[in-house]
């Protein structure tokens, strides 16, 4: 029984070992300002190559074109030759040497000397024998071809590293210890990494990039790029001081204030059944949790593209002013006073900015089957006060202002053109819609329509887009932070059905050949066919804010 804890520890020892990526990040020189990470390549490659998507893409027109392309074939041949020289398969290199973790750290050169920028590649190889063999083969092969003159042993910070002396003194450097490999084309990063390695064994403090990776939640990312935000503070300050333009100075100074609150920033790509590309930002100031926009429930099920969010217009105007110099801020106010204010009423403008929204959105849907239209139909909606609310007057203000703008444009157009725009009021159920039409100037099936739909002001490219707006919209937690959704599969369907008419219409406008445009749309369809949908979503967790672009392929990646 007394031996049990020891046995358990031995059994768990592989789990207790530091994660290879964390281990490498501990060795990154403190002078590094950017780190690129690739991890678990072995697992990701095996999983993806065996996925339903890989099987599908191999048979798809896009996959066939890609695989048959001269460059892809040349790349494969090149890989083959390199593998032959090294005496190992590319897959063995990927899995045995680079399969666990690879880190590339960038160290900027002194100010004004970008030619002294340097980097160091670090990897923790699973197969240390393969690594040693590959390094020996590489040296041997390159010595034979004269690319390397000699390999010289050097020592620094208690470690032995090697300089590969090359013609014209274009030396490079490497260090191998068991499965650990450092490689750099400059000596400075190598020396700094070896110093770091000597210290890392006794240091308890978690280094910057290891901390950043954890705080950004990028532990599972297949690829990541991490930035040290403090490394550019001084440069940002110096630049803002010398800008000649007052607005630019105000803008950069305001941005510098925001940047000072940023503690970690990075990009990551996660591979699951789909791909997620995230921009992560850890700030000293916790961000508010993004709420779901109720408008997602109004987006038609067949929408090709939808963008919705919650915009507080008065806060947005204040933020915009903060980024302007005093003179421009005054000019901006003057513009508001002379443009929108006269239309809605000067005293109404602040009320309008505070009263409309925050839900706002727009979407594109394919043309209805029974319509003559070939262009997608669009709709744009913004929340307005309810008819029972104290601000109900804003509803009329908005509609009246819009009526004025439409009439002002219509009168001028009709004055200078033979074809004429007509406006009429149409009843769509209980809704009164204004419809603006011109059979010659507008494409087939398109007429501008707008109206008040209960709690929303809706504008669309045909009366159905507005009249069909649902009577009730409701926020759903599953849409929290969702900003953009693009359906690639529906867009492909639309392009296949209407690509020809679209090509003809675009050819008329642009003077291009319609057949060529049609071929281009077919190529676009072939590429989009790889995807099911794209989504952009904002999420927050305490001090962490993430913008994630989720890419769903036509078949799952695992």
Partner 1 sequence: MNEPIPNPYHDPIWAYAKRERARVLIVSPGFAEGVERRLAADLRKRRLTRYAGMALAASVLLGVGFIALPRTIQEPAQNPQPAVEIAALPKLGEEWSEAGRSLENLTASAAKPALEPAKRLISGAENLRWPTPVGGEPRFPDFEFGPVAMAGLEPIANTPRRAVNTMLRDFGIAPLEK
The residues near 270 (Cβ < 8 Å, ≥ 6 apart) are: 220, 221, 222, 276, 278
Closer CB to partner 1, 279 or 311, in the complex: 279
Phi, psi angles (nearest 5°) of residue 503: -65, -45
CB of 119 to partner 1, least distance (A): 5
Pick 252 or 292: Cβ nearer partner 1: 252
Smaller CB separation from partner 1, 412 or 422:
412
Shortest Cβ 49–partner 1 spacing (Å): 7
* Backbone angles phi and psi of 543, in degrees to 5: -90, -5
Measured from the CB of residue 204, what is the shortest distance to partner 1 in angstroms? 28
Nearer to partner 1, 147 or 454 (CB): 147
Distance of CA 237 to the CA centre of its chain: 27
Least distance to partner 1 from the beta carbon of 284, Å?
18
Q: Least distance (Å) from partner 1 to the CB of residue 470?
A: 28
Helices (DSSP H) in 60-161: which residue ranges? Answer: 61-68, 70-86, 90-96, 128-144
Nearer to partner 1, 52 or 300 (CB): 52
Closest CB to partner 1 among residues 76, 387: 76
Cross-strand bridge partners of residue 183: 121, 174
Among the listed residues 318, 233, 225, the one whose alpha carbon sits nearest the alpha carbon of residue 278: 225
CA quadruple 436, 437, 442, 448: dihedral positive or negative?
A: positive
When the beta carbons of 166 and 358 are compared against partner 1, the nearer one is 166
DSSP characters over 459-475: EESSHHHHHTS-S----
Nearer CB in complex with partner 1: 134/473: 134
> Least distance from C-beta 479 to partner 1, angstroms?
24
Measured between alpha carbons, how far is residue 51 from residues 57, 68, 72, 164, 530 in Å? Answer: 10, 21, 21, 41, 14
Residues 433 and 449: their CA atoms lie apart, in Å, by: 6
* Sequence-ordered list of residues with C-beta below 8 angstroms from that of 358, at least 6 positions apart, any chain: 310, 311, 312, 383
**179 and 122 in contact (C-beta within 8 Å)?**
no
Residues with Cβ within 8 Å of 281's Cβ and at least 6 positions away in sequence, in order, are 216, 262, 264, 265, 544, 545, 546
């Amino acid at each position: 029984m007394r031996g049990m804890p020891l046995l358990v520890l031995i059994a768990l020892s592989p789990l207790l070992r530091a994660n290879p990526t964390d281990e490498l990040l501990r060795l990154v020189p403190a002078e590094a300002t950017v780190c690129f990470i690739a991890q678990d390549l072995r697992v990701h490659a095996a999983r993806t190559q065996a996925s339903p998507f890989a099987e599908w893409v191999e048979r798809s027109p896009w996959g066939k074109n890609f695989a048959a392309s001269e460059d892809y074939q040349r790349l494969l041949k090149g890989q083959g030759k390199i593998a032959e020289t090294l005496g190992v398969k590319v897959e063995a290199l990927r899995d045995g040497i680079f399969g666990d973790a690879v880190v590339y750290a960038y160290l900027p050169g002194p100010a004004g000397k970008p030619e002294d920028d340097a980097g160091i590649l670090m990897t923790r190889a699973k197969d240390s024998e393969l690594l040693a063999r590959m390094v020996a083969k590489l040296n041997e092969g390159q010595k034979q071809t004269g690319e390397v003159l000699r390999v010289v042993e050097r020592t620094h910070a208690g470690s032995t590293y090697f300089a590969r002396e090359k013609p014209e003194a274009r030396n490079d450097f490497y260090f191998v210890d068991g499965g650990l490999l450092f490689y750099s084309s400059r000596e400075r990063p190598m020396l700094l990494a070896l110093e770091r390695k000597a210290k890392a064994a006794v240091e308890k403090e978690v280094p910057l990039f290891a901390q950043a990776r954890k705080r950004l939640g990028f532990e599972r990312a297949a690829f990541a790029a991490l930035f040290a935000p403090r490394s550019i503070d001084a440069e940002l300050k110096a630049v803002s001081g010398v800008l000649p333009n007052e607005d630019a100075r105000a803008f950069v100074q305001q941005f510098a204030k925001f940047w000072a609150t940023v503690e970690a920033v990075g990009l990551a790509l996660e591979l699951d059944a789909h791909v997620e590309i995230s921009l992560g930002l850890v700030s000293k100031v916790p961000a508010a949790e993004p709420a779901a926009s109720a408008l997602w429930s109004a987006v038609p099920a067949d929408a090709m593209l939808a963008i919705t969010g919650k915009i507080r217009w008065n806060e947005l105007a204040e933020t915009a002013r903060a980024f302007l110099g005093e003179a421009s801020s005054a000019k901006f106010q003057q513009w508001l006073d002379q443009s929108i204010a006269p239309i809605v009423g000067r005293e109404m403008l602040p009320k309008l900015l505070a009263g409309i929204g925050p839900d706002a959105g727009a979407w594109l849907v394919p043309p209805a089957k029974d319509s003559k239209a070939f262009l997608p139909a669009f709709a744009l909606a913004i929340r307005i006060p309810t008819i029972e609310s104290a601000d109900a007057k804003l509803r009329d203000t908005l509609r009246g202002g819009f009526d004025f703008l439409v009439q002002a444009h219509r009168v001028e157009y009709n004055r200078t053109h033979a074809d004429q725009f007509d406006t009429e009021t149409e009843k769509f159920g209980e809704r009164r819609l204004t419809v603006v039409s011109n059979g010659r100037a507008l494409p087939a099936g398109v007429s501008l329509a707008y109206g008040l739909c209960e709690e929303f002001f809706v504008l669309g490219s045909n009366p159905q887009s507005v009249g069909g707006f649902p009577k009730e919209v409701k926020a759903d937690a599953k849409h929290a932070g969702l900003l953009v959704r693009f359906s690639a599969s529906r867009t492909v369907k639309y392009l296949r059905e209407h690509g020809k008419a679209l090509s003809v219409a675009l050819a008329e406008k642009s003077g291009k050949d319609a057949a060529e445009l049609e071929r281009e749309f077919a190529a676009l369809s072939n590429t989009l066919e790889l995807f099911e949908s794209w989504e952009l979503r904002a999420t927050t967790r305490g001090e962490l804010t993430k913008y994630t672009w989720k890419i769903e392929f036509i078949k799952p990646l695992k």
